[in-house]
Structure 1
Amino acid sequence: MLIYDRWGELIYESNNFSKGWDGSVKGNVRKATQDVYVYKIYVRDLKGNRHEFVGHVTCLPGEQ
Structure 2
Amino acid sequence: MQEWTFYIPNAFTPNGNDKNDVFFGVGIGILQYEMWIFDRWGNLVFHCDVLDLPQAAPCVWDGKVVRGGMNLSGGSGVTVQEDVYVWKVHLKNILKDEHTYVGTVTVIR
Which interval holds the TM-score relative to the shorter structure? 0.7 to 0.9
How far residue 46 of structure 1 moved from its aligned partner, in angstroms, is: 1.7
Q: May I ask how many residue pairs the two structures share in their alignment? A: 61
TM superposition score normalised by structure 2 = 0.51
Gaps of 5+ in 1: none
Moved over 3 A (4+): none
Deviation at 1:53, TM superposition (A): 1.4
CA distance in structure 2 between the aligned counterparts of 1:23 and 1:31, rounded to whole angstroms: 6
Task: Within 5 Å, give how 1:1-64 maps onto structure 2.
Answer: 1-16=35-50, 18-26=58-66, 27=71, 28-61=76-109
Question: What TM-score results when the alignment is normalised by the length of structure 1?
Answer: 0.82
The Cα of 1:18 is off from its aligned counterpart by 1.1
AA aligned opposite 1:36: V
Q: Identity over the aligned pairs, expressed in percent?
A: 34
Whole-Å separation in 2 of the counterparts to 1:59 and 1:25: 13
CA distance in 2 between counterparts of 1:14 and 1:57 reads 16
Structure label with greater radius of gyration = 2
Q: Secondary structure at the match of 1:14?
A: strand
